[in-house]
Structure 1
Amino acid sequence: MDKRNVDVVVISDVHLGTYGCHAKELLKYLKSIKPKTLILNGDIIDIWQFSKSYWPESHMKVIRKLMKFVSEGVQVHYLTGNHDEMLRKFDGMEMGTFHLQNKLILELDGKKAWFFHGDVFDVTMQHSKWLAKLGAVGYDTLILINSFVNWVLTAFGREKMSFSKKIKAKFKDAVKFINSFEQTAAELAIEKGYQYVVCGHIHQAEQREIATEDGKVLYLNSGDWVESLTALEYENKNWTVFKYEYQHFTKDELDEGILSDAEDLKSKLDINILLQNIKYEIAQ
């Protein structure tokens, strides 16, 4: 598969370091594109649940691929989220084409786009952070159980299922929260004069125009790489939601050896050093 040229790619809610993260699929996606700008819109590394005991090679490969983009001159913007909030104190840090920010404003073909994670709209995050963290652990456990169930279903030729999606569908409050989140983001963007508002956080990929009495805005959400496996792509003045589908990749491209990019594993980052540095920053 030839790499696709894309002006802007947005991913969020990857949650590296958790059992639910689909790092292998994300890696395949990243290796299928050639972006000019890559925006990591929060919760890329899940520091809330960061554990030295769980950091698979596939998660490290995603980090190395992101670093490779930087070395190739791709503009990489890491926007902080709630699960990697300890990085917020480094807002404004730049290393070559790597930028660490809490929010981002870009002009795309004459239109202003406002990028931020979106946890600022979450009441639980603002007033009961301990409850939100507890919920995150429960969610990760649910994903782990769901993975086992799907393994059994696949073995018997049955279709996979998503526990969390079924739970969300049954609770009207979850739907109300998503609608309220999108409406609030849109209203603020219209008030500030932006044509695009791009968020993450709620794990719900979306692209739709929202209108109010004061104007209209295109609301976009990049979804996640835990369940939805989605990203946003901007090319030829248009936004699209990319949905990862296994059939889009041939058998050869699924081979782990081909995906390695002939990387010298001896020169890879020492994961122990990475873990120590992150844990040191958390303690500050």
Structure 2
Amino acid sequence: MKIKRKIEIAVISDVHLGTYGCHAKQLLTYLNSITPKKLILNGDIIDVWQFSKRYFPKSHLKVIKKIMDMAADGVEIIYITGNHDEMLRKFSGTSIGNISIVDKLVLELHGKKAWFFHGDVFDVSIQNAKWLAKLGGYGYDLLTLLNRGVNWYLEKRGKERYSLSKKVKNGVKGAIKYIDDYEKTISDLAIENGYDYVICGHIHQPKMEYIENKYGKTVYLNSGDWVENFTALEYQFKRWKIYNYSNDKLAPFYPDEEFEDKEIKDLIAAITIVEQQKKKS
């Protein structure tokens, strides 16, 4: 019998389903290991920018099916829109059963205010030159695809995984400054508005940091991603923590073995059945 961890809130972002960089199997392992009261999907879950009918593997469909199953089992699913899934913003404010779509979210957690949003609104490159940001997204996807080949070889040799994209970002001063400016802007605004926690994604940099300026203080949290870091945020016992799949994964939980032998058409049918059940209820 599998014992799942019960947590109040789990936050994931930047999954990028539909791209070569997405590590859906690792995410499934994580989702199979928890029973949250709330699951917050903080943007860029499905990558509409780079979506292609030629590439949407079975494991990616299983992630969608798993999330819908969690909703059917009573988990509150809150989908916060991001830039790669911005087409969903036209449905902001819509709810279907336990699933709701929003652009931002404020929760009160044991007397403290938490502000959730994806974070692309603070990205100048997206606001001023969306075509350039999309082009950069394709380049990033190509880099992660190449990285998969490198890591396959390293794992065969019994060596540790290596992140090319992280190496590139950490080696470029402009990228480091961008991340620092991004985090400072968001934290300053959270302090100005009296938020105790500010939770975002977008930059694929998991982080939890206490920030203070002359006007006040806040805790900046970033859920990271499921492309290179495999991280999530968890809230339980009045505390936040960063879950790191590479360090914290639970061996007994495998990626949705119940559906391992199902064809894609069967998975789509299963998802449709869940939708129909929700409409009846």
User: After TM superposition, is the score higher than 0.5?
Assistant: yes
Gap runs ≥5 in structure 1: 274-284
Rounded Cα–Cα distance in structure 1 between residues aligned with 2:248 and 2:218: 34
Instruction: State the 1:158 CA deviation.
Output: 2.8
* 1:231 corresponding residue in structure 2: 232
String of CA shifts for 1:187-244, please: whole Å, max 9, x gaps: 1111111111000000000001111111000000000000000000000000000000
- Give the Å deviation of 1:154: 2.0
CA positional deviation for 1:96: 1.4
Q: Deviations over 1:8-63 (max 9, x none)?
A: 00000000000010100000100100000010000000000001000111000000
1:279 is matched with which residue? none
- CA RMSD after TM alignment: 2.1
Report what 2:254 is aligned to.
254
Most deviating of 37-46 and 66-75: 66-75
Equivalents in 2 of 1:233, 1:115: separation in Å?
A: 13
Aligned to 2:268: 269
- Answer yes or no: is 1:23 the counterpart of 2:13: no
In 2 relative to 1, CA 187–4 (structure 1 residues): closer, same or farther, beyond 3 Å?
A: same
Identity %: 55
Aligned residues: 270
TM-superposed CA distance for 1:152, in Å, is: 1.6
Q: Give the partner amino acid of 1:260.
A: F
1:246 Cα offset (Å)? 7.0
Take 1:116 and 1:265, find their aligned partners in 2: how far apart are those partners? 32
The one-letter code matched in structure 1 to 2:268 is: L
* Higher RCO structure (Cα 8 Å, ≥6 apart): 2
Flag the 1:267–1:155 CA change in 2: closer, same or farther, 3 A: closer
Alignment of structure 1 residues 236-247 onto 2, 5 Å: 236-245=237-246
Aligned equivalents of 2:39 and 2:248: distance in 1? Answer: 24
Separation in structure 1 between the aligned mates of residue 154 and residue 238 of structure 2, nearest angstrom: 42
Q: Where do 5+ consecutive residues of structure 2 fail to align? A: 273-281
Structure 1 segment 2-81 matched on structure 2, within 5 A: 2-81=3-82
TM-score under structure 2 length normalisation: 0.91
Tell me, yes or no, if the aligned pair for 2:206 and 2:222 is still in contact at 8 Å. yes
The CA distance in 1 between the partners of 2:195 and 2:255, in whole Å, is 43
* Residue in 2 that maps onto 1:182: 183
Alignment of 1:47-126 (within 5 A): 47-126=48-127
Query: How far does the alpha carbon of each residue in 1:71-107 deviate from its partner, in whole angstroms, 9 at most, with x for none?
Result: 1111110000000001111110011111100000111
TM-score normalized by the length of structure 1: 0.90
**Secondary structure in 1 aligned to 2:268?**
coil
d(CA) in 2 for partners of 1:261, 1:97? 26
Amino acid at match of 1:46: D
How far apart are residue 260 of structure 1 and its match? 3.5
Distance (Å, rounded) in 1 between the aligned partners of 2:71 and 2:249 = 26
Residue 174 of structure 1: CA displacement? 0.9
